[in-house]
Amino acid sequence: MTAVVVLADIPSTGFLTGQEAERIAPPAAREPLDDAVERLCRLSETNEAVLVLRPAWLDGLGAKAVRMARLALSTDRIAGISLNLPPLALSLIGDQLTFVAPYIAPGKLAALAGRLGQEIHSGAWLRSVAGLEHIPTGLGQHVASYVPGGGFLVSASPHQEVRRLVKNGPVPPAAFRPADPVHILAAREGADGEWFNERFVPAAAAATVTFVDAQPLGRKFWGSGKYVEFVVLSGHPKAMPRAVAATRCEPCAWCGEPSGPAGCPFCGTCPPPGPGGVPQEQAVGIVQDAGRPAPASGGVVQMARDERAATMSLVTGPAAESKLDRPRAVGPQIAGSRVGGAGTHAESPSEARSGVS
């Protein structure tokens, strides 16, 4: 079975009773990663694979912990996936992946992480977007933050957008609504939630609304101490099976693990180019207004890592340098660039079958 780990200070919502991913809070910037690495190693020794989720908008300590654990055990069965999602949504998806982990292969589970981000509507009500950094915001919207009254409806997935709310005005139509019955998971901090309760919930025609404790990283993501964060999801019994069925995977050309269009998150093998020479991770991306393909919000994108730099940051000394200078055997093609846009990416591709990351 695959162990799912959320490597951030993102506790479980408790929405899925008895189905909670492992939680590992990384240490402060100047503190060692020993405890996090040790826990990842223990999980790897007792499970078929370990899938580590972390926020894409945090620093790289989580990615470093994954690399160190892979190196310590000389394994490629620990994969890191970063999700460009707010804390409440990421917490829910971590628990959802834990729920289905016993039934699907590790590679498909990694690809499903991105798919689930497209199956929900996550966002927040904000009084001001002056401090919002992780979702594109226009100058006019920043200026409007200082105008009394109203607020903003911010969507993080499946599409990122910021909409100005007019006091007593209609609720903007949602760009995406999950299949009925609709459930809303919400967390409130520093706000009374009047607009959310009286306007947003009826407009969403939700069957249930569940309030949970605010996430510790909520202020950091939303850039405000006054917000109501929410996740709108489907409660239909076939919602999860449909998401799993819609997650397209092919056997990895190198290790055989089922992998999505972005490539294998375990050995790091890139997919072959799509039609017309377009890389698969671009071919399946959302075409933006400017005509540039970008990965769907919550989609998995193979993160480029230079093998030499990643290894030399963990292994020092002349022996390590001489080993790296020797020609490598012909192996899988390793991704060489990060694909831009909101979404996810797999971290730390190792040399195939070597565990070096």
Residue 191 forms part of a structural domain: yes
Q: What is the pLDDT of residues 161-178, one digit of tens each?
A: 999 988 777 888 887 899
Taking alpha carbons only, the member of 162, 215, 206 closest to residue 187 is: 215
Q: How many domains does the chain have?
A: 2
How far apart are the C-alpha atoms of 93 and 83, rounded to whole Å? 10
Residue 294, phi then psi, degrees to nearest 5: -135, 150
Whether residues 56 and 198 share a domain: the answer is: no
- Domain with 204 in it: what CATH number? 3.30.1180.10
Most confident listed range (88-97, 333-342, 344-353): 88-97
> Is the confidence at residue 310, as pLDDT, over 60?
no
How far apart are the C-alpha atoms of 196 and 199, rounded to whole Å? 6
Q: What is the pLDDT of residue 318?
A: 39
Whether residues 105 and 128 share a domain: the answer is: no
**Given 234, 256, 275, which residue is the final one in a domain?**
234
Task: Pick the more confident residue, 28 or 266.
Answer: 266
Residue 166 forms part of a structural domain: yes
Among 52-66, 137-151, 228-242, name the one with the lowest average pLDDT: 137-151
In this structure, what DSSP letter does residue 102 have?
A: G
How far apart are the C-alpha atoms of 75 and 157, rounded to whole Å? 33
Residue 78 near residue 44 (C-beta atoms within 8 A): yes
Residue 356 forms part of a structural domain: no
Q: What is the pLDDT of residue 243?
A: 96
Q: What is the pLDDT of residues 204-234, one digit of tens each?
A: 999 999 999 999 999 999 999 999 999 999 9
Whether residues 99 and 156 share a domain: the answer is: no
Task: Pick the more confident residue, 6 or 142.
Answer: 6
Whether residues 104 and 245 share a domain: the answer is: yes
**Given 217, 234, 251, which residue is the final one in a domain?**
234
Taking alpha carbons only, the member of 103, 112, 125 closest to residue 83 is: 112
Residue 159 forms part of a structural domain: yes
Whether residues 102 and 126 share a domain: the answer is: no
How far apart are the C-alpha atoms of 72 and 63, rounded to whole Å? 14
Residue 116 forms part of a structural domain: no
Q: What is the pLDDT of residue 70?
A: 95
Taking alpha carbons only, the member of 335, 323, 194, 315 closest to residue 265 is: 335
Whether residues 134 and 85 share a domain: the answer is: no
Residue 7, phi then psi, degrees to nearest 5: -95, 75
Residue 136 forms part of a structural domain: yes
Whether residues 104 and 130 share a domain: the answer is: no
Q: What is the pLDDT of residues 21-79, one digit of tens each?
A: 999 988 876 678 899 999 999 999 999 999 999 999 998 788 999 999 999 999 999 99
Taking alpha carbons only, the member of 308, 278, 304 closest to residue 293 is: 278
Whether residues 289 and 200 share a domain: the answer is: no
Q: Where in 177-330 does DSSP place strands (E)?
A: 182-189, 208-212, 227-234, 250-251, 258-259, 286-287, 293-294, 300-302
Whether residues 130 and 77 share a domain: the answer is: no
Share of the chain above pLDDT 90, in %: 59
Q: Which domain holds residue 7?
A: 2-110+240-347
Whether residues 226 and 255 share a domain: the answer is: no
Whether residues 254 and 224 share a domain: the answer is: no
Residue 8, phi then psi, degrees to nearest 5: -175, 165
**Given 195, 219, 234, which residue is the final one in a domain?**
234
Residue 354 forms part of a structural domain: no
How far apart are the C-alpha atoms of 247 and 303, rounded to whole Å? 19
Q: Where in 199-319 does DSSP place strands (E)?
A: 208-212, 227-234, 250-251, 258-259, 286-287, 293-294, 300-302
Q: How confident is the model at residue 346 (pLDDT cuts 50, 70, 90)?
A: low
Residue 352 forms part of a structural domain: no
Whether residues 162 and 200 share a domain: the answer is: yes
